Amino acid sequence: MKKHIALVPGDGIGPDIVREGVKILSAIAEKFSHDFTTSSYVAGGVALDSEGIPLPEATLDGCKQSDGVLLGAVGGPKWDTLPSHLRPEKALLGLRGGMGLFCNLRPAILYKQLSGACPLKREIIGDGLDIMVVRELTGGIYFGERGRSEDRAYDTMAYTVTEVERIVRKGFEIAQKRSKLLCSVDKANILNSSQLWREVVQRVQSEYPDVEVSHMYVDNAAMQLVRNPRQFDVIVTSNMFGDILSDEASQITGSIGMLPSASLAEDGFGMYEPIHGSAPDIAGKDLANPIATILSVAMMLRYSFSLFEEADAIENAVSSVLDEGYRTADIYTDGMKKVGTSEMGNLIAQAL
């Protein structure tokens, strides 16, 4: 298979981890005789420094013309004082909105090899956690009308039926392929947009009779995630609630450096990135954990290219390297073998 992948390393540890992702792409290309080519683009703080804007047109165009995008991370203290339209994070919103990536998949999996890293009590996590957060990504308060004057500021959360319906359907489809449990999270006791959201879920539900649906207010969901996370399988929710709950879900797996994500358009085109940030304090020091990015490559192969065997091969390689006791600093515990970013990438490539 021939595919062209746009690389957007971004800031901080972004370049360190994307490099390892590319290593894995090459290993897969060799093993399975694919032809993967790449082009690199700037976005975020590096783009602000070199071109004065967070998302240059050439970057968005290059990404649109590719078959899939692999992104590292954007942002850092250097650009934190800029006004919001000039912040590196704006690049992410521009990429998501500009490419119609409305469906964000954030799996939160507790790897059995890392169960000691989970901050919850053993009786709460039982034999593991595997939650899929399906977050709406191009609507809601992130993209609503906003404004500010000297003494007042506002952001608006608006959703159309169409926007809710397409993400909710994704939630149902994913639930059908997993344990057929879907929890829709909203704040329908307060927000109009959430009442509309809930109505749409209730209407669409009849088309997926095999899926059991529950509705939960977001404050309760935040509590239930630490009280009894095993009640959840697939969570579908709006942009902002999904932002918050996916961080919480990732933390209960204890290993934010391990978790990948996919941001998908209607036609399966996608941008793939680790869910962690740019960690500027460890950038360029060969300390970052590349596994979230490597698992994001696996998601790209699975969701955008339908290369299922290849995606499984990457996930199995990661698992076997963890089985052998190799750990980057963020997931290191006594008795394990500590390795740096590039060695971890090499080990996973070799395991492939």
Residues labelled as active-site residues: 142, 187, 219, 243, 247
Residue 242 or 345 having the CB closest to ligand IPM: 242
> Which residues partner with 39 through β-bridges?
6
Residue 262: phi and psi, rounded to 5, are -130, 140
Residue 113 or 238 having the CB closest to ligand IPM: 238
The secondary structure of 188-250 as a DSSP string is TTT-HHHHHHHHHHHHHGGG-TTSEEEEEEHHHHHHHHHH-GGG-SEEEE-HHHHHHHHHHHH
> Which residues partner with 194 through β-bridges?
none
Angle at 117 between CA 12 and CA 25, to 5 degrees: 50
Question: Encoding tokens for residue 270?
Answer: 């996608």
Residue 92, interface with ligand IPM (CB under 6 A)? yes
Closest CA to 188 of 155, 218, 225: 218
- Give the range of 34-42, 206-214, 237-245, 255-263 binding Mg ion by CB under 5 A: 237-245
| Residue 212 binds which entry of ligand IPM, Mg ion, none, CB below 5-8 Å type-dependent | none
We find the least distance from the C-beta atom of residue 163 to ligand IPM, in angstroms, to be 16
Q: State the residue number with the nearest CB to Mg ion.
A: 243
User: Which helix or strand (DSSP H or E) is residue 260 part of?
Assistant: strand 260-264
Residue 136, interface with Mg ion (CB under 5 A)? no
Residue 138 or 193 having the CB closest to ligand IPM: 138
What is the rounded CA–CA span in Å between residue 22 and residue 14? Answer: 12
We find the least distance from the C-beta atom of residue 243 to ligand IPM, in angstroms, to be 4
Residue 20 or 243 having the CB closest to Mg ion: 243
Strands 270-274 and 260-264: antiparallel
Total binding residues toward Mg ion, as defined by CB under 5 A: 1
Residue 136, interface with ligand IPM (CB under 6 A)? no
Residue 275 or 349 having the CB closest to ligand IPM: 275
Residue 72 or 345 having the CB closest to Mg ion: 72
Binding pattern to ligand IPM, positions 220-259, x when CB under 6 A?
A: -----------------------x----------------
Radius of gyration (C-alpha) of the chain in whole angstroms: 20
Residue 155, interface with ligand IPM (CB under 6 A)? no
What is the rounded CA–CA span in Å between residue 67 and residue 63? Answer: 8
Q: State the residue number with the nearest CB to ligand IPM.
A: 89
Binding residue for ligand IPM, selected from 51, 89, 248, 343, defined by CB under 6 A: 89
What is the rounded CA–CA span in Å between residue 193 and residue 120? Answer: 33
| Residue 89 binds which entry of Mg ion, ligand IPM, none, CB below 5-8 Å type-dependent | ligand IPM
Residue 243, interface with Mg ion (CB under 5 A)? yes
Closest CA to 330 of 43, 28, 10, 16: 16
Alpha carbon dihedral 337, 341, 344, 345, in 10-degree steps, equals -170
| Residue 315 binds which entry of Mg ion, ligand IPM, none, CB below 5-8 Å type-dependent | none
Which residue type sits at 323? D
- The footprint of ligand IPM (CB under 6 A) covers 89, 92, 243
- The footprint of Mg ion (CB under 5 A) covers 243
